[in-house]
């Protein structure tokens, strides 16, 4: 059996994403314990200089015009072809907006098992176990991974991104794109970056963040007042932004912004993995939630099991509101 690990590197406009380094880091740890190596597959167009910076043992570089922007069909075909060709033990794919299009499709086509939402991949009693985070972060599923092929899709932020450059330096191998890339049914037509916002939550020192527990748009006023009293800005979980109660620029999390304030006061936020991705590194996290099992308490430094309105009002009184 092959023992090497194939990592799908993720890049956007020539920039490698942090999660790619996290995946290569964990892959190198796993491969080293088996005396094997790590292949990183870099997909793009005109990205050969980027390929040279990837800290894998071997960088497989595939360039094609269809790979310039992310194209889910092209990426899927490319990864599938490379996996068939190199027959790795494990394929690691980031569980990002891009990776989600690829991991399940490639695993299905190859007939290999997939463990999604991996937050840990560890040896336990001589057995490799991938731990998947399910049910909004409330339940973990331990899945033993044998010596057969498997695909793991890995949560961003679950591993350290300090993968050191390998010794000896990586070899770069240029791959010929599969013929399917010339007959795709999906076209990427554009990429749009957000406009500058009125408030940049990524620079705020203090954040009062509200979730679905706030119940209505009118109740946002309470959060605004509290934030004013604390000298903080208001941010939110995704459902509030989807409902149009706050602009997209206030969304914290996987598809929103990553924040690292000195204070993150979370009111009525459950702490789904996609939310935690954006705020778990805050210096001080204080969470108020009615549900004692809410996953937000797994990352908070201080927790309060209470009605957020009671706590917010009591705080507001003391702040002289």
Partner 1 sequence: MTLAVILKQVPDVVEELAIAPSGTDLDRDSVSYVVNEFDEHALEEALLLREATGEDVVVVGVDTTGELDQALYTALAKGAQRAVKLVGDFEGSWLSTRALAGLLAPVIRELSPRLVLTGVQAPDDLDGQLAPTLGALLDWPHTGVVVGTELADGVVRVRKELWGGIMLDLELATPAVLGIQAARATPRYVPVGRVRQAMRESTIEEVEVETPVESAPKLSRLRAPEAAGRAEMLTGSPSDVAERILEILRARGLY
Ligand X SMILES: Cc1cc2nc3c(=O)[nH]c(=O)nc-3n(C[C@H](O)[C@H](O)[C@H](O)COP(=O)(O)OP(=O)(O)OC[C@H]3O[C@@H](n4cnc5c(N)ncnc54)[C@H](O)[C@@H]3O)c2cc1C
Residue 104 binds which entry of ligand AMP, ligand X, partner 1, none, with Cβ cut-offs from 5 to 8 Å by kind?
A: partner 1
Residue 23 to residue 156: CA distance in whole angstroms: 9
Phi and psi, residue 298, nearest 5°? -75, -20
- Cβ closest to ligand X, residue 170 vs residue 223: 223
CB atoms within 10 A of CB 319: 13
Residue 57 CB, shortest distance to ligand AMP, in Å, is 4
Q: Please answer whether residues 93 and 156 qualify as being in contact, where contact means their C-beta atoms are separated by less than 8 angstroms.
A: no
Residue list 2-31, contact with ligand AMP (CB under 6 A):
2-4
Residues 253-282: x where in contact with ligand X by CB under 6 A, - otherwise, as a string: xxxx-----------xxx-x-xx--x----
Residue 36: how many other CB atoms lie within 10 Å = 17
Q: Which two tokens stand for residue 200?
A: 């940049």
Here the tokens at position 309 are 């309105």
List the structure tokens of 146: 């044998």
Q: Does 307 bind ligand X (CB under 6 A)?
A: yes
- Min dist CB 2 to ligand AMP, Å, is 4
- Collapsing DSSP states into helix, strand and coil, what is residue 255? coil
Under the binding rule (CB under 6 A), the answer on residue 37 touching ligand AMP is: yes
Six-digit token pair at 153?
A: 């899709």
- Give, to the nearest 10 degrees, the angle between helix 97-110 and helix 72-86: 50
Is residue 59 at the binding interface for ligand X, with CB under 6 A as the rule? Answer: no
Token pair in block for residue 172 = 């770069």
Contact with ligand AMP (CB under 6 A) among 10, 22, 57, 63: 57
CA–CA dist 26, 160 (Å, integer) = 8
* Segment interacting with ligand X (CB under 6 A) among 11-19, 47-55, 175-183, 306-314: 306-314
Which range touches partner 1 (CB under 8 A), out of 23-31, 32-40, 54-62, 145-153? Answer: 145-153
Regarding 54 and contact with ligand AMP (CB under 6 A), the answer is no
For residue 100, state whether it binds partner 1 (rule: CB under 8 A). Answer: yes
Instruction: Identify the burial level of 33 via C-beta atoms within 10 angstroms of its C-beta, where 0-12 means exposed, 13-18 middle and 19 or more buried.
Output: exposed
Q: Give 49-92 as a DSSP string.
A: HHHTT--SSEEEEEE-GGGSS--HHHHHHHHHHHHHHH--SEEE
Judged by CB under 8 A, which of 31, 78, 82, 116 binds partner 1?
116
| Piece of the chain touching partner 1 by CB under 8 A; list 21-29, 32-40, 141-149, 170-178 | 141-149
**Interface with ligand AMP (CB under 6 A), residue from 58, 64, 275, 280:** 58
Give the whole-angstrom CA distance, residue 38 versus residue 40.
6
Residue 86 lies near ligand AMP (rule: CB under 6 A): yes
- Contacting partner 1 within 154-213 (CB under 8 A): 185-194, 206
Nearer to ligand AMP, 34 or 187 (CB): 34
Nearer to ligand AMP, 3 or 291 (CB): 3
Q: Does the protein bind partner 1 through residue 244 (CB under 8 A)?
A: yes
Minimal distance, residue 230 CB to ligand AMP, in Å = 51
- Other Cβ atoms less than 10 A from the Cβ of 130: the count is 24
Contact residues: ligand X, CB under 6 A: 211-213, 237-239, 251-256, 268-270, 272, 274-275, 278, 288-291, 294, 307-309
């Amino acid at each position: 059996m092959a023992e090497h690990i194939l990592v799908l590197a993720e890049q956007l406009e020539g920039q490698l994403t942090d999660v790619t380094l996290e995946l290569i880091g964990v892959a190198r740890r796993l491969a080293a314990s088996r005396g094997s190596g790590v292949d990183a597959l870099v997909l793009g167009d005109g990205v050969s200089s980027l390929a040279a910076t990837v800290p894998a043992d071997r960088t497989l570089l595939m360039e094609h015009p269809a790979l310039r922007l992310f194209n889910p069909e092209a990426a899927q075909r490319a990864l599938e072809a490379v996996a068939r060709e190199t027959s790795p033990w494990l394929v690691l794919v980031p569980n990002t907006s891009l990776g989600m299009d690829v991991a399940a499709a490639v695993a299905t086509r190859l007939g290999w098992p997939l463990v999604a939402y991996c937050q840990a991949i560890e040896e336990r009693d001589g057995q490799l176990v991938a731990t998947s985070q399910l049910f909004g972060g409330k339940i973990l599923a331990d899945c033993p991974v044998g010596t057969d092929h498997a695909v793991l899709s890995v949560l961003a932020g679950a591993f350290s991104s300090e993968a050191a450059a390998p010794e000896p330096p990586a070899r770069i191998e240029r791959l010929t794109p599969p013929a399917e890339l010339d007959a795709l049914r999906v076209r990427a037509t554009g990429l749009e970056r957000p406009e500058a916002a009125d408030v940049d939550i990524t620079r705020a020192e203090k954040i009062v963040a509200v979730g679905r527990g706030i119940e209505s748009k009118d109740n946002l006023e309470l959060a605004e007042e509290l934030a004013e009293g604390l000298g903080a800005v208001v941010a939110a979980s995704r459902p509030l932004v989807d409902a149009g109660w706050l602009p997209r620029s206030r969304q914290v999390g996987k598809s929103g912004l990553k924040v690292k304030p000195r204070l993150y006061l979370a009111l009525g936020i459950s702490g789904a993995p996609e939310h935690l991705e954006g705020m778990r590194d805050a210096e001080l996290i204080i969470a108020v939630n009615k549900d004692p099992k809410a996953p937000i308490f797994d990352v908070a430094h201080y927790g309060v099991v209470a009605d957020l309105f009671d706590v917010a009002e009591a705080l507001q009184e003391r702040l002289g509101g």
